[in-house]
A and B are shown apart, each in its own frame.
Chain A
Amino acid sequence: MADAFIENYASEANIVINIGAQSESQTKDTVLVDIAAAADVYYFADDQTRELVAAGALQPVQNADAVAAANAQGAVDAATVDGTLYAYPAMGGNGYFLYYNSNIISAEQAATWDGILKACNAAGVKATMEMTNAWYSYGFFAGAGYACALSDDGKTTTCDWNAEGGVNVLQAMLDIAANSAYINLTDGEFVSGAKEGTIAAGINGSWNAASIAEAFGDGYATAKLPTFTLNGEQVQMGSFDGYKFVGVNAMSENVGWAMRLAEWLTNEDNQVYLYEATNGAAVPANTNAAASEAVQANPVVAALAAQSQYATAQSLSVGGNYWTPANALGTIVVNGNPDGLELQAILDECVAGITALVE
Chain B
Amino acid sequence: MAGPTSDLPEAAQRRLTSGAFSSGLSVSDFAACLEMGLEPVGLVQGFCAMQVANYAMGGYTMGGFAQGMTPAGAQGGYVQNYQCPHGMISAEHRMWGQNYQQTWIESAWRDGFNSAYRRMIEEAQALGAHGVLGVVDSVAPLSDTGVVEYHLTGTAVTILDGPAATSDVWSTYLAGQRLAKVFEAGYAPVSIIAAVASIRVWASCVTEYLMEGTNFGWSNTGEPTEIDQIVSAQTNARDIARARARANLHGDALHGASLEVATREFSRGDLQIESRLRGNRIRRFKDFDPLAVPKPTVRLS
A-B complex is real = no
Interface residues of A (CB under 8 A from B): none
